[in-house]
Amino acid sequence: MDRRAVYFYTLPGETACAGLALDVHIHSEVLRFDDTIRGHEIPGKVAAEDENGFTFTSTGYMPGEWRFDVLTVEEFRREHYKMVEGGETMAAKIKTTDDLHQWYRREFGI
């Protein structure tokens, strides 16, 4: 888990992206993250981590396995640019995943 990374996540039993997660971290057995609107705190634990992200088992809201994958510039260009005003222009300008994550942190003050 990388607190500076931007993740997209899916909820238990779903395959579609439920949203983006920024400033993702564990604090006192609670997963904390911000989306582009507000903060979230979900009790549970990290079940597994890999090079693409991690799986979190929620014992609170929407119990079960949530999947968090790092939002890469390729994934952003393929699908997630639609979630951002001016996303098509941004997708053409941003060259790296690090640049994409920096933009999100700067844009949303995280």
**Residue ranges of domains in the chain:** 6-70, 73-107
- The stretch 41-57 carries a mean pLDDT of 97
For residue 17, which of 93, 110, 97, 81 has the smallest C-alpha distance? 81
- Chain mean pLDDT for the chain: 94
Question: How many CB atoms are closer than 10 A to CB 21?
Answer: 23
pTM: 0.92
Q: Is the pLDDT of residue 23 over 80?
A: yes
Residue 109: its pLDDT value, please?
80
Position 75 confidence tier, pLDDT thresholds 50, 70, 90:
very high
- The stretch 35-43 carries a mean pLDDT of 93
Q: How many CA atoms lie within 13 A of 47 on its CB side?
A: 12
Position 102 confidence tier, pLDDT thresholds 50, 70, 90:
very high
The two three-digit tokens of residue 48, written as one number: 């597994």
